Structure 1
Amino acid sequence: MRPAPAAGPDGTRAGPEVPNLSVGPRIVRRVTTEVRLRPVRDEDLPAFFAHEQDPQANWMAAFGPKDPADRAAFDAHWARIRADPRIVNRTVTVDGVVVGRVAAFPVGERTEVSYWIDSAHWGRGHATAALAALLRELPQRPVHARAAKDNAASLAVLRKCGFVVIGEDSGYAAGRGAEVEEYVLELPAEATDQGGH
């Protein structure tokens, strides 16, 4: 127990000592909600390509490009998906900086969503905010998604946005060079925006 502070000249006692938080090192992790979506521009593609060069991000995503370093394959992929009017591609920006992308695309009769956030921006709520914003653009429900069973962060994003697990699947994942089990998730027709934005 601390001793009571000494009385001042007027007989009053000062309050308890309060540590001076402006002294010494402080680690502050900036969390922002200034996430914006916009149509993909040509000048966004170098950032997307750079994001895909991160081995940890490729391992987490699992089902990414066969060879992330193949720029010709990357360019061909983006030319194809940008030309398809059924695919909704959006660039994710935070304070004007490109931090990733989100997309909605047809898989058979279903609409699926996916997202990729630069690993330098993980843990700040950007994926959740971006996915929630994309879902507000999409009139159709249900919407589906897939995530590797061990990708806890992606599964958390999907759950925060209202998705529920409806099944399991597996497939060859280039990002891991192996067969990977995944969850199949659905945002039901009656779901409301739960992304917190």
Structure 2
Amino acid sequence: MTDSAARDISLRPLTEDDIPALFEIQLDESAQHLAAFTDTRTARDAEAFGKKYRKILADDAIVNRVIEIHGEVVGSVATFPIEGDTELTYWIRKDWWGRGVATAAVAALLDEVTERPIHARAVEDNSGSVRVLERNAFVRIGSEDSFAPGRQATVTELIFKLA
């Protein structure tokens, strides 16, 4: 970890009160570009974003945690079921990138969610996310070209697995 902030993270269950902060965090255009698969229907619409997250909160199969540093919301990390697999996702506020926060948050969630395997994906040019996954023992098992709504283009997604 490259920053003491990574040692200071804490995870807690996401609540409805967190939705406005998470909406603001995901508004960053460069973050949306790297994520690539941002839901373009909700990315700029706070009401639609809130509706989407209230559905997520109601789904007991999703483990969704807020990442805090000294009580300040700096992102989220979650696992969710998709097509019979469990998949990992995370989003970190841009001013915390490169400081080990995502790596530490993923590690903390993986301590809580002990089900394996867990899958994850990162767009090929998102080297930061690739490093986060590799530092948490995810192994690349393939790739897939898919249309990314956040980029309005086809991108190569790297597919990872933690056994």
Aligned to 1:49: 23
Identity of aligned residues (%): 44
Q: What is the count of residue pairs matched by the alignment?
A: 160
Normalising to structure 2: TM-score of the pair? 0.94
Aligned to 1:63: 37
- Structure in which a larger fraction of residues adopt helix: 2
1:76 to partner: Cα distance = 1.6
Aligned to 1:157: 132
1:138 to partner: Cα distance = 0.9
3-state SS in 1 of match to 2:38 = coil
Report matched runs for 1:135-174 at 5 Å.
135-174=110-149
- In the TM superposition, what whole-angstrom CA distance separates every residue of 1:121-179 from its partner, at most 9, and x where no partner exists? 11110000000000111121111000001100000000000000001112221221111
2:60 to 67, 70, 85: 85
Normalising to structure 1: TM-score of the pair? 0.78
- Structure in which a larger fraction of residues adopt strand: 2
Report matched runs for 1:89-128 at 5 Å.
89-128=64-103
Unaligned runs of 5+ residues in structure 2 are none
Unaligned runs of 5+ residues in structure 1 are 1-28, 189-197
CA RMSD of aligned residues (A): 1.3
Of structures 1 and 2, the one scoring higher in RCO (CA 8 A, sep 6+) is: 2
2:108 to 133, 144, 150: 133
1:65 to partner: Cα distance = 1.8
1:31 maps to 2:4: yes
Structure 1 or 2, whichever has the larger Rg, is 1
